[in-house]
Amino acid sequence: MARGATRVAGVDEVGRGPLAGPVTAAAVVLDPARIPAGLDDSKRLSPARREVLATEIAACAEVSLAHASVAEIDRLNILAASHLAMLRAVAGLRRPPDHLLIDGNRLPAGLPCTAEAVVKGDARSLSVAAASIVAKVARDAIMAVLATEFPGYGWERNAGYPSAAHREALLNLGVTPHHRRSFAPVHKILCEDSGTTY
């Protein structure tokens, strides 16, 4: 897929679906001589296995992590914020890559080199799989910390995704500064609290 490029980075993001927390992206350049065994789509790995692999990836590959904040998600929309996080992750690599493999079917604008969108890339490319693992572990850790500051929403378990428990807590406990106000379930509660109708 890299068409002869010598420095290829896999790029993936996690956190497009949650109601709370940032969206996180990773860019990973693997060393072909030191690829950790068992790389796979992060969604198909247990949390414990993801943690182990994230540590192994960090030890033998070049990794850059970046985020787009809740404020940026609400201002830009989730797709644009995801692309912003990806651009930041690529920019954070020590040396510019020759080529990018980006999970999904759309490429961010303003990339610094050639790139291709790879549908289901985290299952088809080892470097994209590595990026998905690193991003998932990093974002889950952020949400676990936020869960200690805002207990009751279950973020340490649901990572901000709209589980039944999270939705119930949102109704009972209200909206936090870390909730995405542009997302329909959160927006609806804010409108009901203010008595505003649209």
The verdict on residue 34 lying in a domain is yes
The verdict on residue 193 lying in a domain is no
CATH code, 36 = 3.30.420.10
Instruction: Read off the pLDDT of residues 152-174 as tens digits, 9 standing for 90 and up.
Output: 999 999 999 999 999 999 999 99
The verdict on residue 75 lying in a domain is yes
Dist. CA 165–CA 134, nearest whole Å: 26
In the structure encoding, which two tokens stand for residue 52, read together? 């182990």
The verdict on residue 60 lying in a domain is yes
User: Quick check: helix, strand or coil at residue 40?
Assistant: coil
The count of domains in the chain is 1
Range of the domain at 84: 8-150
Dist. CA 175–CA 172, nearest whole Å: 9
CB neighbour list of residue 137: distance below 8 Å, 6 or more residues apart? 42, 50, 51, 54
The answer to whether the CB of 73 falls within 8 A of the CB of 81 is yes
User: Quick check: helix, strand or coil at residue 43?
Assistant: helix
The verdict on residue 141 lying in a domain is yes
The verdict on residue 88 lying in a domain is yes
Q: What's 12's DSSP letter?
A: E
Instruction: Read off the pLDDT of residues 94-146 as tens digits, 9 standing for 90 and up.
Output: 999 999 999 999 999 999 999 999 999 999 999 999 999 999 999 999 999 99
In this prediction the pTM is 0.93
The verdict on residue 45 lying in a domain is yes
The verdict on residue 183 lying in a domain is no
Instruction: Read off the pLDDT of residues 10-57 as tens digits, 9 standing for 90 and up.
Output: 999 999 999 999 999 999 999 999 999 999 989 899 999 999 999 999
